[in-house]
Structure 1
Amino acid sequence: MPEQPPYLGIADVLRRRVAEREWTSGDRLPSRAQIAQECGVGENVVRRAQELLISQGVLEGRAGSGTYVAEPRKRVRVVRSAAREQPQSSPFRADMKAVGRQGDWESRTDAKVPAPAEVATRLGTTEGDLCVRTAYEFLADGKPVHLSTSWEPYEVTGGTLVVLPEGGPHAGAGVVNRMAALGINVSHAVEQPEPQQATAEEASLLGIQKAALVTHIRRTYYSDEGQPVETADIVVPTALCEIVYEVPISR
């Protein structure tokens, strides 16, 4: 039988120390250099062991802070359904409330950002046309569970009270409600889910291992005239969320 890679043995050691409660939930682990010295291995071996345990939910990495014993986390349910677009309400907060968790989000908006080629194609505009870009981190009990980056054509919302998705009198109302304030009826959305591996930035924001499995959803909202009014890239980590699609049946 071939000998197992050293990092698997170190992962077993770290997992056992957590199981025996030498380190408990929320505890910061010693530095990689210290663990490497204690175990007689190189720091790269410790790094690979920690990355494995992060992907398994035993540990969590915090950018610029270190590696910690992960708090127990249950997967949250992310429901995709047009029927959940209700006036002045948040489907995400409703989902979290249903499972006894506090749903919230953090966002950062940049106005007048030139559209990359792919985004322009999805919005039916020209590469370089100005957009309003908003990056979201969706949180359950203060912990990130999925990400989204939204693009809206500036020519649609520019100079109106809804130009900033998270600012003004319609802040946080969602695309459907905000567009309705402009007299635009959003009739449907198209979503394209695809399995991918998390980028380094996504992994850092979500507290998962780089290259961990995520579902990347390309979503575009259309008006009843067929005009794209918003497109988004949604990143849902498999380890933290399950995706459920609700499909209405017409009779």
Structure 2
Amino acid sequence: MPREAPYLAVADVLRARILAGEWGIGERLPSRARLAEEFGVGRNVVQRAMDRLIIDGLLEGRAGSGTYVRMPRERLRLVRSRRGERLGGSPSLVGSKERGKADAWDAHSQVRVPAPEAIAERLAISPGDPCVTTHYEFLTEGQPVQLSVSWEPMGLTGGTPVVLPESGPLAGKGVVRRMRSLGVVVATVIELPRPARATRAQANLLGISFGDLVLQIERTIYDTDGRPVETADIVIPDMRREVAYEFAVDPP
């Protein structure tokens, strides 16, 4: 049988001691050097063990201060369903009291932003082609719970009243209705969820620590011809939300 990695063994011991109350909520743990000496391991092993417990939500790192026992936080469930979400824009406020559902948001759009290579590939356009990009910050009861950056090709919406997702006659109505106004019918949505660590910018916006675990969802929306009409990167802090997917079942 393979031997357990040393940092996992240290993490298990620290977890047990935390749960037993050796360090209370909000209390700082001993330094890495002290714990390394106590366990007879290197400081890097202790750091990896602490990182593991930070991911698990037991600890939190405070820059320049140390590592502390984290206050337990309830994780709200976010249900991702085509029936319950307004794709590509502000969430519907109908039923906004549902737990975990965003009840407010901030949005900022820019036009004629050159598509980076990765975005161009997702939108089936050429790198550098002009796009509209919109940055969203979603809140639940005043707490930031989700970020999103959306990209739409201006070759599709440029010069139309719906070029900006949050302005114009269909402001905040989402990709489906805005595209339909142009005669474009949305048919398919593909989401690729991946675990990631929060960047400094994301951590600042979400009120979490740099490197905290987040769920990053790459979403692309296609019309009936298979043409991508919008792509977005969605970031959800793991400590605050768990994500559930709801699928409709076709009747037999």
Tell me if TM exceeds 0.5. Answer: yes
Q: Which protein has the bigger helix share? A: 1
Residues 1:242 and 1:197: Cα distance change in structure 2 (over 3 Å)? closer
C-alpha displacement of 1:104? 3.4
Q: Secondary structure at 1:9's aligned position in 2?
A: helix
1:128-167 Cα distance to aligned partner (Å, 9 max, x none): 1111122334444444544432110123333444333234
Residues 1:95 and 1:184: Cα distance change in structure 2 (over 3 Å)? same
C-alpha displacement of 1:55? 1.2
Aligned counterparts, 1:212-223, within 5 A:
212=213, 214=215, 216-222=217-223
**What is residue 109 of structure 2 aligned with on the other side?**
109
- Rounded Cα–Cα distance in structure 2 between residues aligned with 1:153 and 1:142: 32
- Rounded Cα–Cα distance in structure 2 between residues aligned with 1:186 and 1:67: 51
- Rounded Cα–Cα distance in structure 2 between residues aligned with 1:12 and 1:204: 31
- Rounded Cα–Cα distance in structure 2 between residues aligned with 1:66 and 1:113: 41
Q: Secondary structure at 1:232's aligned position in 2?
A: strand
Residues 1:83 and 1:17: Cα distance change in structure 2 (over 3 Å)? closer
Q: Secondary structure at 1:152's aligned position in 2?
A: strand
C-alpha RMSD of matched pairs (Å): 4.4
- Rounded Cα–Cα distance in structure 2 between residues aligned with 1:16 and 1:104: 40
Aligned counterparts, 1:3-82, within 5 A:
5=6, 8-9=9-10, 12-13=13-14, 16-17=17-18, 20=21, 22-24=23-25, 27=26, 30=28, 35-36=31-32, 38-39=34-35, 41=37, 44-61=44-61, 69-81=70-82
- Rounded Cα–Cα distance in structure 1 between residues aligned with 2:71 and 2:95: 23
**What is residue 243 of structure 1 aligned with on the other side?**
244
- Rounded Cα–Cα distance in structure 1 between residues aligned with 2:14 and 2:32: 12
Structure 2 stretches lacking a partner, 5+ long: none
Residues 1:150 and 1:76: Cα distance change in structure 2 (over 3 Å)? same
C-alpha displacement of 1:51? 1.5
- Conserved in 2, the CA contact under 8 Å of 1:149 and 1:232? yes
**Percent identical across equivalent pairs?**
37
State the one-letter code of the partner of 1:193: L
**How many residues end up aligned between the 2 structures?**
241
Q: Secondary structure at 1:241's aligned position in 2?
A: strand
State the one-letter code of the partner of 2:115: A
**TM-score, normalised with respect to structure 1:** 0.68
Q: Which moved more, 1:46-55 or 1:211-220?
A: 211-220
Structure 1 stretches lacking a partner, 5+ long: none
Q: Secondary structure at 1:218's aligned position in 2?
A: strand
State the one-letter code of the partner of 1:54: I
C-alpha displacement of 1:6? 5.7
Q: Which moved more, 1:147-156 or 1:4-13?
A: 4-13
Aligned counterparts, 1:100-179, within 5 A:
103-167=103-167, 170-179=170-179
- Conserved in 1, the CA contact under 8 Å of 2:198 and 2:214? no
